[in-house]
Structure 1
């Protein structure tokens, strides 16, 4: 028995529905371009949530107490739940999610480059909560407020609240560790490489953005550069409060946050060091680095895929 393929809407019918402020509820309400666009943004969201789990676990094992480890595992559990939501929505849109998760090559996963640089200490994990989860919150809050895709909008009500907990966890631990000189220095070392990686998180500048349908179709409400500003509007003040140096400040004349160093810049992922002395690079150079992925890409994807692969090997042996 074959399943009938849903009939897609014309572009004009779709735009008319959006103009009437009616949510897009299923494939039958979508045009071909809308369908491809929503699958693209959902895949990035799902992959980001999924890969954060092995990335965070890599550092969570260095938690200073059992209670701290439990909090980190709770965050990881949330991230897996968020990934499940996005992959389930993709499945409802006709995507083979088993293949997407378990058969893709590691370099084909679509998530921010920052997660390819291993978090190797408790301090780096909490800065990731304060920076990376703040970026996730910034992006998904924008989607929640603006998206025209009804099922995702409703699902994000839960995700939004949990991402708030994650970034607050990072903030509280940063304040706790910042109370003595040793803790402050450890935080500064992490901030030195993680701050600019999170500035990169929001993608290419608006002048180079290719997928303009994200704004036209209401997948999100703000552009990449606007989202970068929203993130810095809370991340920079947090660092200033803790007297942690970051290469950014608020320019009153321009009425926006500006970067105080070469940016974009070359990054040595192995040493976790920005090569600012070499001056700025181009965004095309950054794209090359992103596409090549970072040092932990293959290891983290292997951690996700190994259970399914082990099961398949066992089934082959049993036949």
Structure 2
């Protein structure tokens, strides 16, 4: 018998996982339309199909925990979806999709691999056997295309532009730093094994060497003295989403309490971004049309 606190906690972590997988589908599709070949497009569509399947698994587990799955997916307000802000900024090019697979899917792999190794919720652990293998394919797909694109000057320049924008976004993916966390229920109840900062380090331990091996400049390095990866930019920082440009020169911004400009990471997360309404509308539209037809 689950305690109310355990039940609430597992629902919250499953919500983030499910919503992230779901919202990646329209985000990836937007960029997949820039695929250089038909075969490349088919590969991207296969990844999108996988992501929708992963979302279904997590939502189905929530249904077993008493959540109305149909209402939860199709009736929720767009701003109540819980997923990394990275998907609120459109991916527009094949290069950006390649980096997303190599960085974003790597983040998903790191998070879910940690859950698989440590979770006390058996049904999720069993489901993640399939999910983990597919997420591994996604990040390898990104790595393969990054390697292909890096072989000529123009491709390497486009990769560098994408990395400059998407690397800091993925560093933010793992959430609040450990010193600002007021609750650690996910660790206390064994929903996962590593803290946010530990997961960030795990991600950088493979993402940074990948980029460096392709001759790309990464704003992070491994510090032998500290025995960890160190960021070379103010974290967190403000950015211009329309220009996909970080405003590092303005310095570090607060995570929780807004600064004098009324800006904080948590406020940005709550307000969501440019593509939130559009992507949720795409996902909910068909279901609503079918319901209207059945009612009519």
Same fold, TM exceeding 0.5?
yes
Answer yes or no: is 1:200 the counterpart of 2:172. Answer: yes
Q: 1:299 aligns with which of 278, 281, 284?
A: 278
Alignment match of 1:89 (pick from 33, 55, 61) = 61
Q: Give SS of 2:230's match.
A: strand
Instruction: Indicate the residue corresponding to 2:196 in structure 1.
Output: 224
Equivalent in the alignment of 2:3: 31
Encode CA deviations 1:17-70: one digit per residue, 9 max, x unaligned: xxxxxxxxxxxx211100000000000000000000000001001100010000
In the alignment, the residues of structure 2 paired with residue 315 and residue 74 of structure 1 have an alpha-carbon distance, to the nearest angstrom, of 31
Residues in 1 aligned to 2:208 and 2:61: alpha-carbon distance in whole angstroms:
34
> What TM-score does the superposition give when structure 2 sets the normalisation length?
0.96
- Whole-Å separation in 1 of the counterparts to 2:178 and 2:30: 34
**C-alpha separation between the residues in 2 aligned to 1:313 and 1:186?**
45
CA displacement at 1:153 relative to structure 2: 0.4
1:73 Cα deviation (Å)? Answer: 0.4
Residue 289 of structure 2 corresponds to residue 289 of structure 1: no
Structure 1 residue 144 and structure 2 residue 116: aligned? Answer: yes
Map 1:16-165 onto structure 2 (within 5 A). 29-165=1-137
Structure 1 residue aligned with 2:261: none
Alignment deviations for residues 263-285 of structure 1 (CA, whole Å, 9 cap, x no partner): 11001111111111111111121
Q: How far apart, in 1, do the equivalents of 2:183 and 2:56 lie?
A: 25
Secondary structure of residue in 2 paired with 1:63: coil
Deviation at 1:190, TM superposition (A): 0.5
Give, in angstroms, the shift of residue 315 of structure 1: 3.2
Q: 2:213 maps to which residue?
A: 241
When Rg is computed on C-alpha atoms for both structures, the one with the higher figure is 1
* Corresponding residue of 2:236: 264
Q: What CA distance in whole angstroms lies between the structure 1 residues aligned with 2:183 and 2:8?
A: 11
What is the DSSP-based 3-state SS (H/G/I as helix, E as strand, rest coil) of the residue aligned with 1:118?
A: coil
Following superposition, the deviation at residue 311 of structure 1 comes to: 1.5
What CA distance in whole angstroms lies between the structure 2 residues aligned with 1:100 and 1:113? 20
Residue 99 of structure 1: CA displacement? Answer: 1.0
Tell me the TM-score normalised to structure 1 length. 0.89
Residue in structure 1 matching 2:139, options 167, 172, 177: 167
**1:61-86 Cα distance to aligned partner (Å, 9 max, x none):** 11000100000000001000100100
Shift of 1:312: 2.5
Q: Distance in 2 between matches of 1:209 and 1:134?
A: 23
Q: Secondary structure at the match of 1:283?
A: coil
Say whether 1:313 aligns with 2:292: yes
SS at match of 1:166: helix
Q: Distance in 2 between matches of 1:225 and 1:43?
A: 21
Distance 1:267 1:214 in 2: 30
Q: Name stretches of at least 5 consecutive residues in structure 2 with no aligned partner.
A: 257-263
Which shifted more, 251-260 or 263-272? 263-272
1:138-179 CA distances to partner (integer Å, 9 max, x unpaired)? 000000000000000000011001000000000000000100
The size of the alignment, in residue pairs, is 289
